[in-house]
Amino acid sequence: MAAKKYRSGTSVIADMFPKGQVEFLHGDSMTVTLWQFEQGGDVPSHRHPHEQIVHCLEGTFEVTVDGEAVVLESGDSVIIPGGVEHAAHARTAARGIDVFHPVREDYRR
């Protein structure tokens, strides 16, 4: 497969969560999201079958995984196994990247 170049701001951007925006990139076997939240933005508790890596680029982002709070600051990551309940809260304005495997077909638009 030939390489595919991506430029931020050119893919689907969704206001999926109050005080947050998510931009989607889909490969053949994974989905990457670029996200940003205003302070106080929340991702409600949910679960999905995909393994997920959350990486915080800026700010402070609290991710609760199976009842355990993990506070991420710039440069921190957490790995969430598939099927495990999780939620998130932006303690400050925050930006980051999520990687999902396999592809999040429910995020294709």
CA–CA gap between residue 63 and residue 73 (Å, rounded): 11
In a domain, 29, yes or no: yes
In a domain, 92, yes or no: yes
Could you tell me the CA-to-CA distances from 10 to 16, 24, 53, 108 in Å, in that order? 17, 10, 23, 14
In a domain, 43, yes or no: yes
1 pLDDT band, cuts 50/70/90, is low
In a domain, 8, yes or no: no
Q: Which CATH number belongs to the domain containing residue 27 in this structure? A: 2.60.120.10
Does the pTM surpass 0.85? The reply is yes
Q: What is the mean pLDDT of the chain?
A: 93
- Per the structure, the count of domains in the chain is 1
In a domain, 10, yes or no: no
- Its domain, for residue 73, covers 19-107
Lowest-pLDDT choice from 3-17, 76-90, 94-108: 3-17
- Are the beta carbons of 58 and 39 closer than 8 angstroms? no
